Structure 1
């Protein structure tokens, strides 16, 4: 999909474009100018590219794919401040778009979620603390994901066999159609239930349509008419 955005002057042209990567859409803005080389930047989690006039799409996409791991890393760093904070007197994490307090206690032997608070031991290492947090969330909310997937599978008349919830680096979810297995990224818990429902519908639809064909999107739209809007909100944050 290519959408014309603006013609600032005869010296530059700006477009918004979408690139498919591992079943997800990576959106970027490209500005064509009088310059010699392609320049890629990630600004506040958004991909910005400037390129010489008449640069073919394949050449731009080649640069993006070459740097995709760096792009994802920078986007991840950008969203950290908006979904959790351990560097405050009252640490918190955003669940279903609401801030939930995290109580860190070095005397705890077992983590738990109780009274709308997350209790976990102190690992004295932020990376490990974050990793353990997502592990706690995945275990606690797995049945929630299973329940919502069952609800939508009944509405859509689609059978599935297994649901897993785990941390992923470059996908919001994936489906193995032949095995009838679906997995969801634990980070989906940071979003609203409406957005999570879109991802569930998306992955269930892959059981019928493995690829992102026209039939696939027509089927998604039947159960999620605003999927384009929700997809944009989801992918605009980075993973």
Structure 2
């Protein structure tokens, strides 16, 4: 993988290029960065022509990117899509406390403290929602809940082990998107694939699930 720069509308765009055994060029924006995969032998001239061809879409996606957090004093974190300002008061205690829309961090390890608090908030919310869904919408036993960091997924269902795993990054999203992921993973206890029957089960609980699914795909992990 190599890094290059290209000028688009008086704006310098950095892109990462990887050559692979493939037939067509693939361009995608992830976390505000342009990533390009191209067949071996493809010239930079042709690649940059393709970038200019799709420049409007690329720039829109890059400019729309909003980091979920900025871990420094005076920075911020999004919790359930609400912005909280980080106020650091290092007293050697690894915890956080919310006051209005300020999140006080009482330790120099800002990221560690905030992620610990986000873990607790997300776990509590998912547990509460799953109890509610299982009481009214699913005839299932309560599975074990895990919160992890994933690079490219929001959740996983391990039906044989009676556990579900969720990406910590869900804590930054709107609650209705988190609910969609919860329902999605619970429906995998009924159907282990992504068949029409599986999505029918989701639709019975969330009739507008396709709208939620589309919005979730627009989010970055």
Matched residue count: 173
Match of 1:7 in 2: none
Distance 1:93 1:157, change over 3 A: same
1:38 is the counterpart of 2:24: yes
Match of 1:233 in 2: 215
Distance 1:181 1:37, change over 3 A: closer
- 2:189 aligned counterpart, secondary structure: helix
Deviation per residue, 1:192-233 (Å, 9 max, x gap) = 111111111101101111111111000001111111111111
TM-score by length of 1: 0.63
Match of 1:179 in 2: 161
Alignment equivalent of 2:186, drawn from 201, 204, 207: 204
Alignment equivalent of 2:92, drawn from 84, 108, 123: 108
Deviation per residue, 1:128-157 (Å, 9 max, x gap) = x43542232102431221011111122222
- In 2, Cα distance between the equivalents of 1:122 and 1:154? 42
Contact conserved, 1:134 with 1:167, CA < 8 A, in 2? no
Gap regions ≥5 residues in structure 2: 1-21, 40-60
TM-score by length of 2: 0.67
- In 2, Cα distance between the equivalents of 1:193 and 1:169? 20
Distance 1:49 1:229, change over 3 A: farther
1:146 is the counterpart of 2:122: no
Distance 1:119 1:108, change over 3 A: farther
Match of 2:152 in 1: 170
TM-align CA RMSD: 2.9
Alignment equivalent of 2:70, drawn from 81, 85, 100: 85
Gap regions ≥5 residues in structure 1: 1-35, 53-74, 124-128
Match of 2:49 in 1: none
